């Protein structure tokens, strides 16, 4: 469910009393011409749950990530719709795709086997370089997006890079902190269907971090040890 705010209400295509199957075809050119983007996006199943439980629509408590912390939503959410199998089987009237946001990079992935493989390769690459010490975006975010333009949806295929503007047409479903801690590393690996075995260097780093608090960053675990030489005043750091 999308909310669009028009300054000029006369631009809104009329909803006919008979057949509105072509409504998006009439609406999308207006949105593109006037550069109008959604001011709010809500899953219909989330909206139905919030309506039933008296949660104000478009409030912070109605956000999908907040609902995932709601025990009733997790227990009863299946009553308000089905998940991605409907889309994979081509049964969804208005299919969504997964968008992965990593800094300024946005990757769109179709709900196909090839889309799953592209996601797995992307996550494996992130996990492989997780402790390399290079500056990274603070978070990895996952979104479910529903581009309105049917032609654009077809162009996505299995995998495609996109402008961050596409995120306006979806909701954030998951976040992963990318600070180099053991907890975050494990969370990232748990997102993968088949994680690659740890490298020798990763095994060394994990063995260092496992004895420290969960929020300790990896570089801070590297303790410098001074080994004295025989001559006074001479030593080396390792």
Tens of pLDDT, residues 122-160: 999 999 999 988 888 999 999 999 888 878 888 888 889
Distance CA 110, CA 53 (A): 33
Identify whether 107 is part of a domain.
Answer: yes
Specify whether 103 is located in the same domain as 24.
Answer: no
* Same-domain check for residues 210 and 136: yes
186: containing domain: 98-224
The mean pLDDT value of the chain amounts to 83
Position 151 scores a pLDDT of: 80
Q: What percent of the chain has pLDDT over 70?
A: 84
Let me know if residue 82 belongs to a domain.
no
Q: Is residue 148 part of a domain?
A: yes
Residue 118 covered by a domain: yes
Please give the helix or strand (H or E) that residue 143 lies within, else none.
Answer: strand 139-145
Q: Is the pLDDT of residue 202 over 60?
A: yes
Close Cβ partners of 127 (under 8 Å, ≥ 6 residues apart)? 185, 188, 189, 192, 195, 196
Predicted pLDDT at 148: 84
In terms of Cα–Cα distance, which of 140, 146, 145 is closest to 174? 140
Please report where in the chains the tokens 């978070």 appear, as a residue.
139
Question: Do 143 and 98 contact (CB within 8 A), yes or no?
Answer: yes
| Structural domain contains residue 158 | yes
Give the total number of structural domains in the chain: 2
DSSP 12: S
In a domain, 125, yes or no: yes
Q: Which of 94, 83, 148, 88 is nearest to 116 (CA)?
A: 88
44 close to 1: Cβ distance less than 8 angstroms: yes
**Judgement on whether residues 25 and 105 belong to the same structural domain of the protein:** no
Confidence band for 7, pLDDT divided at 50, 70 and 90? very high
Compute how many other C-beta atoms are within 10 angstroms of the C-beta atom of residue 185: 21
Instruction: Please state the separation of Cα 217 from the chain's center in Å.
Output: 23
Question: Is there a single domain that holds both residue 15 and residue 117?
Answer: no
Same domain, 7 and 113: no
Q: Tell me the C-alpha distance between 5 and 133, whole Å.
A: 44
Among 75, 43, 74, residue whose Cα is nearest residue 58: 43
Specify the pLDDT at position 228: 44
Residues 21 and 104 both lie in one domain: no
Adjacent-strand bridge partners of 77? none
Asked if residue 208 and residue 132 are part of one domain, the reply reads: yes
Q: What is the pTM of this model?
A: 0.79
pLDDT in tens, 52-95: 999 998 888 988 888 989 898 888 767 766 555 555 555 566 67
For residue 121, being part of any structural domain is answered with yes
Tokens matching residue 225: 């040890």
Find residue 143's DSSP bridge partners: 99, 172
Give yes or no for a contact between 204 and 97, defined as CB atoms under 8 angstroms apart: no
Domain identity same for 141 and 220 = yes
Tokens of 221: 């675990």
Residues 220 and 144 in one domain: yes
Q: Could you tell me if 112 and 6 lie in one domain?
A: no
H helix intervals, 92-232: 113-128, 150-156, 182-190, 200-209
User: What is the CB neighbour count within 10 angstroms for residue 68?
Assistant: 12
- Within a domain: residue 21? yes
Same domain, 5 and 106: no
Which residues 6+ apart lie within 8 Å of 51 measured at CB?
A: 57
Same domain, 15 and 133: no
CA distances from 205 to 128, 181, 192, 198, 201 (A): 12, 10, 20, 10, 6
């Amino acid at each position: 469910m999308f909310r669009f705010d028009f300054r000029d209400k006369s631009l809104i295509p009329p909803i006919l009393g008979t057949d509105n199957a072509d409504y998006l075809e009439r609406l999308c050119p207006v949105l593109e011409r006037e550069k109008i983007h959604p001011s709010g996006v809500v899953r219909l199943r989330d909206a139905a749950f919030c309506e039933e439980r008296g949660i104000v629509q478009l409030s912070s408590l109605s956000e999908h990530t907040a609902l995932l912390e709601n025990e009733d939503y997790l227990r009863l959410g299946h009553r308000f719709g089905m998940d991605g199998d409907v889309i994979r089987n081509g049964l969804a009237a208005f299919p969504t795709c997964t968008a992965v946001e990593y800094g300024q990079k946005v990757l769109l992935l179709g709900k196909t086997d090839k889309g799953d493989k592209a996601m797995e390769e992307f996550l494996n690459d992130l996990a492989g370089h997780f402790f390399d010490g290079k500056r990274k975006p603070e978070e990895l975010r996952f979104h479910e997006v529903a581009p309105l333009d049917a032609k654009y949806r077809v162009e996505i295929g299995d995998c495609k890079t996109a402008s961050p503007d596409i995120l306006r047409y979806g909701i954030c479903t998951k976040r992963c902190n990318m600070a180099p801690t053991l907890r975050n590393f494990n969370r990232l690996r748990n997102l993968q269907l088949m994680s690659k075995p740890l490298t020798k260097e990763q095994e060394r780093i994990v063995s260092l971090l496992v004895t420290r608090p969960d929020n300790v960053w990896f570089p801070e675990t590297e303790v410098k040890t001074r080994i004295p030489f025989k001559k006074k005043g001479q030593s080396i750091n390792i």
